[in-house]
Amino acid sequence: MNYELAKSIFILIFFGALLAVSASWVVQGSAFLAKKFAVKSFVLGFLLLGIITTIPEMFVAFQAVRDGMPQLTVGNLLGGSILLLSFVMGIGAICLKRVILDHGMTVKDILFSSIVVAAPSVVLWDGQLTRIEGVLLIAIYVFHVLFINREHHVMTNIEHHAKHVKHVTHAIILFVLGIVGVAISSHFMVSTAESLTTICNISPFIVGLFLLTLGTNLPELTLVVTAIRQKKKDLAFGDILGSAAVNTPILGVVCLIAPFSVSDTLRTQVTLGLLFIISLFFYLAASTKKDITRKEGIILLLVYVAFVAFELLRI
C-alpha cells in the first residue's frame, strides 16, 4: 500500500476515534444539564438528543462546505445511512442470529423514520439540491419529531447519558472539551479526506461514501460490537435508525448553505436507489415480524458488499 495512502487512512481512523470520544463527552454533559434543569418535554428532549448526537456529522459537513467540497458531505451522509442499515444491522443479525426491531418503537415510528431516511432518494434523484429542497428535507425531519412516539425512550436515553456525570462543573467541562475535540477532529478528518481524493484520484463523493463515513459512524459501529459481545438482540435499533434519519436534515442544512449538483448522476442514483430499498425493507420487516433474522442479515451484508464492489470497480 502506498505510504501516503496508509498514513491518510490511519489519520482518518485516529481522528474518527477522537471524534467519537469527543461527541460522547458532549452528549454526557448535555444530558446531565438537561436533567439538572428538568427538561421533561418529549419534543425538547428529542431535539436535544437529535442535535447533540449529530454534532460529529454537523461539524464534518460544515468543514467540507467551507472547503468548497459539499459532495464530500453528501457521500458521507448517504454512505452513513446505508452503512448503518445494511452493514451494521447485517453484522448484528448474523452474529446475534436475530435482531429485534421494536425496542420501544411502534410500526408508525419505524414508518416515519424510514420515510425520513429515504427522503434524499427523491429530492436528489435529478442530481441537484436547491435551497427549497433543503428546507423540505428539514421539514420532513421536524414532522417526524412531532409525530414519533418515543417519549419514554428519549427520557431513558437522557438518564443513561447523564449518569456518567457527577456535577454541573463536570458536565460543563465535558461539554466544552467535547466541542473542542469535535472541532479539531472534524477539521483533520475533512482535510485528510480531501487529500485522499488527490492521492487515490477519486471523487470526493466516493471518499465520503466509504472512508469518511467510517470515521463519523464509529459510535454506532462500537454499539453493534458491544451488543454482539453482550448478546443483546435488541441492538438499540431505535438509536441506529435515528442516527440514519438525522442525516437527512443535516443534508438539508448543507443545501441551505451551499446548493450544489453532483457530477456523476448515475453513481448517485445507484446510491439513492439502494438507500430507498433498504428503508423500505426495514419498514416491511417492522410491519410483519418486527425482527431481522440471520438469513436477512446475510442478505443485508451481501447487498452492502456488492454495493462497495460496484462502486470501487467504477473508479
- If one compares 86 and 206, the residue with the highest pLDDT of the two is 86
Report whether 185 contacts 55 (CB < 8 A). Answer: no
pLDDT at 237: 65
Question: Would you report the helix, strand and coil content of the chain in percent, each value rounded to 5?
Answer: 80, 5, 15
The domain tally of the chain equals 1
pLDDT at 254: 82
pLDDT at 53: 63
User: Nine-digit cell at 78?
Assistant: 448517504
Domain CATH for 43: 1.20.1420.30
Q: What is the mean pLDDT of residues 206-210?
A: 78
Q: Which of 194, 193, 251, 182 is nearest to 219 (CA)?
A: 182
User: What is 96-123 written as a DSSP string?
Assistant: HSEEES-TT--HHHHHHHHHHHHHHHHH
Q: Report pLDDT digits (tens) over 18-54.
A: 887 887 787 777 777 766 665 554 444 455 555 666 6
pLDDT at 315: 60
pLDDT at 155: 55
Q: Report pLDDT digits (tens) over 248-275.
A: 888 888 888 877 777 777 778 888 888 9
Which structural domain, as residue segments, surrounds residue 170?
3-313
Q: What is the mean pLDDT of residues 276-298?
A: 82
pLDDT at 105: 66
pLDDT at 42: 43
pLDDT at 102: 58
pLDDT at 284: 81
pLDDT at 236: 61
In the chain, pLDDT over 90 holds for what percent of residues? 1
pLDDT at 74: 83
Q: Report pLDDT digits (tens) over 154-197.
A: 555 556 666 667 777 887 888 888 888 888 888 888 888 878 88
pLDDT at 224: 74
d(CA 72, CA 59): 13
Specify the DSSP class assigned to residue 208: I
pLDDT at 43: 46
pLDDT at 113: 83
pLDDT at 276: 92
User: Nine-digit cell at 110?
Assistant: 419505524
